[in-house]
Amino acid sequence: MTRGHLDVISRAAAQFDEIIVTVMINKSKRGLFTVDERIDMLGEATSHLPNVRISSWHGLLVDYAKQVGFAAIVKGLRGANDFDYELQMAQMNQKLSGVDTLFVPANPTYSFLSSSLVKEVATFGGDVEDMVPACVHGRLLARIAERKAE
């Protein structure tokens, strides 16, 4: 989770009565953190937002939105490449289920951030402290050190 993610979540939380941040489960990927660890970090980072709940789902996000009764999915967009990809997905989701996707443009302060880029910079010793919430920073450095020791 980057500060860009937190910014989009915070802005969406100001617009809706309830927000569910959903960690998508992809068993074919070996992420840096487990699903449970990601849920814990997200919960800690959003603890100041009383209308935000953290969950996880294996399958199509649009199916989860339908199951919990939400009419919209919120996605942050950093730039044109994100828009091109997310627009196609939004149109497919709407066609499959009637669930709309709302796009939140990235705050320019964070528009260059991606979790993969932050992980790469941190892996090579770069300072990413101001790019991730404090609760993520320590865990990120510790996990990178664990992986290097393996």
Architecture of domain 3-112: 3-Layer(aba) Sandwich (3.40)
What DSSP character marks residue 26?
Answer: -
**Confidence (pLDDT) at 71:** 86
- For residue 98, the tally of other CB atoms under 10 A from its CB is 11
Give the pLDDT confidence score for residue 48 in this predicted structure: 98
Residue 73 identity (one-letter amino acid):
I
pLDDT at residue number 29: 75
Return the HEC string of 8-52. HHHHHHCCCCCEEEEEECCCCCCCCCCHHHHHHHHHHHCCCCCCE
Longest distance between any two alpha carbons in the chain, whole Å: 48
The CA R_g of the chain, rounded to the nearest whole Å, is 16
- Name the residues annotated as catalytic: 5, 29, 78, 115
Taking Cα atoms as reference points, which of 103, 105, 109 lies closest to residue 131? 109
Give me the pLDDT at residue 150, please. 81
Could you identify the residue written with the tokens 């932050």? 118
Return per-residue pLDDT of the chain as tens, 150 residues. Answer: 999 999 999 999 999 999 999 999 987 777 899 999 999 999 999 999 999 999 999 999 999 999 999 989 999 999 999 999 999 999 999 999 999 999 999 999 999 999 999 999 999 999 999 999 999 999 999 999 999 888
pLDDT of residue 26: 82
Tokens of residue 95, six digits: 């066609």
Query: Measuring CA to CA, which residue among 113, 87, 88, 84 is closest to residue 5?
Result: 113
